[in-house]
Every structure is written in C-alpha cells, then in structure tokens.
C-alpha cells in the first residue's frame, strides 16, 4: 500500500535555493519583471522545467536565476522555498545559496544575496518554527580562485548569518577535484563544514578525490556503488551520501529510476540521507524521494524512518539542537510508525 511520507518528521540536507523556487513564486517574479512574453502563465513556467539532458538543465537553471534581479527577490524566494519544506514536516534544512550563476551572470553582490536569503529563512523560522542553515555553494566550472574569492567575501558574514558549510557542484568530468584542494582547506580553516558533489555522473575516482578533501558528507556519490572498496571507505570514515534519486533520473545520471543504486549502498552499510536537490525543477519534493525509495526501489518503511533519523544525526547543527530534535523525532516518529503498523527502528 502506498505510504504518504509527508507527515514523517524529516530533514533536507541537499537543496539548491535557485532550483527549488515553486512555480507560482517564479511566475510572480516573471510578472514583477515584465517578462510575461517568456512565460505567460504558471503552466508555461512548469513546462520550462522539462529537460532533454544535463546541458539543457543547466540552461534552464540560468534562465531561472535571470529572474532574481534584486535582493528582495532572494528574500522572497528564500521564504517561499522554506514554506514548501514546512508543508512536508521538514524540521531542519540546509539550503545552498549558489554564488556561481548569481555573481557571474546576475552581477549580484554575494554578501547582499546571502543576507537577503537569510532574512527569508529567518522569517520562516519565526513564523513556522523550521530551522534553516545556509550552505555557500560554488561551481567547479568557475575555477578555484572564484571560490576562494567568494569565501573571502562571505567571511565577515559568519557571525551574522548561520553559514554552516561550503559546497561545490558543477562539471565533474571537466574539472577534477584535486585542483580545488586549496579552496577546501580554506573552508575548513574558516570553521565551515564541507560537503561536495561527487560521483554523480563520473566514476568512483571522483569520490576518492572528494574524500581527500575531508568532507563530512558527499552530495550524490552514487557511483560509489560500483566499487566495494570505496563503499567500505565511506563506511569506515563515516561519510554520509546525500542521495537524491529523482534528480539522478532527471539529469540522466541513472538511466532508469528502478536501477538506482540506493538499495546497494544501504545493503553495503554506507551512511545515506535522502534529499530533493532541485525539487521545483525536477517536479519532486523530499517526501516524494521517500515515496520513490519505498515504491520504486523497494526500501522498507522502517529503513526509511531510520534514514530520516540519520538526517538529524548528519545535519550541520550544534549539538544542543541535535539533541532536542532527535528527542522530538524519536517521540513523533514512533507515533507515526505505530499509527501505520510499522516497526520503529531501534
Ligand atoms: Zn546538488
């Protein structure tokens, strides 16, 4: 029987702000900036979010970012994105604010947009109780010096905005991670946690390279399933993968959702969490990722409740908050399981 995971308490640890703008909110920006000729209705915006391949996806991503014209737009989308999480009973989220496209193509001041996004997240916390942290994200494609410059830009904000981590995405095949070692060293020196997209479309070597950067988590990392030694390494080093199955199908990282390696990773004991990546653009949500894992990949509900708990164990938050949220999770998730005749995982 299909199970609705919406009401299960969850985290969202891998989500890009710009890829998560609900279509209605993006349409509001289309109208605000007088660009109805490009998308005359919400339905048109929805249809723009259909991709042929990864290159097309990046093109649409840039189109979306082109509607973020002012700092108020960032504050607005940050609040709207947070609301989508509140509706799914997400209690803690880390949201990546991408400084690549916004600075390179949008001409924005990185400090101003991080501040604006933070205002939106805080407003959501005050109104709805959700806890949100900012991850600063940059792309491999912009080069190591670009990322170093952005880390320097945001350093003065660190007492003011809860910036928990540095993250890097971008073209894995073109820009191998060893050339970014100095960027990650700098991030660690600044006291930031680190997650890095790796092994999403390229092979296990990319994940080995990522491990050399000493991340606490790895984004995707699904190609690790091709290499038993690497899976052992992830387990031994206790580095969790942020797995986003629907995204992997949409970008072609896996040919068919049914062939997704998540069950193999779980079987091998690799720590995993579940996330939605760019939910608006991939027509998904964090709840839907749990549904897909259950219905398409055959992962049993008790294991999925354990994965939800893992999100609270792996989230970049202080230990007092972790303790509070884990206690609350154990209470509420137990009720959630009892009401559905599901064994609560001990
Ligand atoms: Zn991502």
Ligand 1 center–CA 334 separation, angstroms = 31
Averaged pLDDT, 70-87: 97
Q: Is the pLDDT of residue 55 over 90?
A: no
Q: Which residues have C-beta under 5 Å from ligand 1, the single-atom ion?
A: 277
What is the average pLDDT value for the chain, to the nearest integer? Answer: 95
Averaged pLDDT, 104-108: 72
Q: Do 199 and 233 meet the contact criterion of CB atoms below 8 Å apart? A: no
Averaged pLDDT, 174-178: 95
Catalytic residue among 94, 172, 200, 289: 200
Give strand pairing partners of 15.
95, 277
Residue 155 is a catalytic residue:
no
Q: Do 93 and 130 meet the contact criterion of CB atoms below 8 Å apart? A: yes
C-alpha–C-alpha distance, residues 244 and 286, integer Å = 9
CA 25 to chain centre: 19
Give strand pairing partners of 92.
11, 131
Q: Do 111 and 154 meet the contact criterion of CB atoms below 8 Å apart? A: yes
Q: Is the pLDDT of residue 302 over 80?
A: yes
> What pLDDT does residue 58 have?
81
Averaged pLDDT, 175-189: 97
Ligand 1 center–CA 128 separation, angstroms = 25
C-alpha–C-alpha distance, residues 183 and 260, integer Å = 31
> What pLDDT does residue 104 have?
67
Lookup: tokens for 81: 């994105």
Ligand 1 center–CA 195 separation, angstroms = 10
**CATH class entry, domain 10-338:** alpha beta
Buried/exposed code over 89-98 (b: 16+ C-beta within 10 A; e: otherwise): bbbbbbbbbb
Ligand 1 center–CA 338 separation, angstroms = 34
Ligand 1 center–CA 276 separation, angstroms = 8
pTM for the predicted model, two decimal places: 0.96
Averaged pLDDT, 313-334: 98
Per-domain residue ranges for the chain? 10-338
Strand pairing class (193-198; 163-169)? parallel
C-alpha–C-alpha distance, residues 328 and 314, integer Å = 16
Ligand 1 center–CA 95 separation, angstroms = 10
> What pLDDT does residue 215 have?
98
């Amino acid at each position: 029987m299909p199970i609705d995971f919406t009401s299960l308490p969850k985290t969202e640890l891998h989500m890009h702000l710009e890829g998560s703008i609900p279509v209605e909110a993006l349409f509001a920006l289309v109208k605000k900036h007088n660009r109805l000729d490009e998308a005359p209705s919400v339905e048109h915006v929805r249809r723009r979010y259909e991709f042929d391949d990864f290159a097309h996806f990046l093109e649409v991503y840039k189109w979306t970012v082109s509607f973020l014209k002012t700092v108020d737009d960032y504050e607005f989308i940050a609040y709207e994105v947070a609301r989508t999480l509140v509706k799914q009973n997400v209690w803690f989220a880390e949201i990546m604010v991408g400084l690549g496209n916004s600075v390179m193509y949008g001409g924005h001041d990185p400090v101003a947009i991080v501040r604006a996004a933070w205002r939106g997240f805080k407003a959501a916390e005050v109104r709805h109780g959700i806890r949100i942290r900012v991850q600063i994200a940059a792309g491999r494609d912009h080069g190591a010096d670009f990322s170093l410059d952005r880390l320097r830009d945001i350093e003065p904000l660190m007492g003011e905005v809860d910036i928990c981590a540095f993250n890097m995405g971008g073209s894995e095949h073109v820009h191998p991670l060893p050339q970014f070692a100095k960027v990650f060293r700098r991030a660690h020196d600044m006291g930031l946690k680190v997650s890095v997209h790796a092994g999403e479309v390229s092979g296990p070597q990319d994940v080995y390279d990522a491990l050399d950067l000493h991340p606490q988590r790895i984004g995707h990392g699904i190609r690790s399933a091709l290499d038993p030694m690497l899976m052992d390494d992830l387990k031994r080093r206790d580095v969790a993968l942020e797995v986003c199955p629907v995204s992997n199908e949409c970008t072609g990282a896996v040919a068919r959702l049914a062939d997704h390696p998540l069950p193999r990773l779980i079987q091998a004991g690799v720590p995993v969490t579940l996330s939605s990546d760019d939910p608006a653009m991939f027509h998904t949500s964090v709840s839907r990722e749990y549904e897909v894992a259950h219905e398409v990949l055959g992962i049993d509900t008790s294991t999925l409740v354990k994965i939800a708990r893992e999100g609270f164990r792996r989230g970049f938050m202080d230990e007092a908050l972790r303790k509070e949220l884990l206690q609350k999770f154990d209470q509420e998730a137990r009720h959630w399981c009892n009401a559905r005749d599901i064994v609560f995982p001990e």
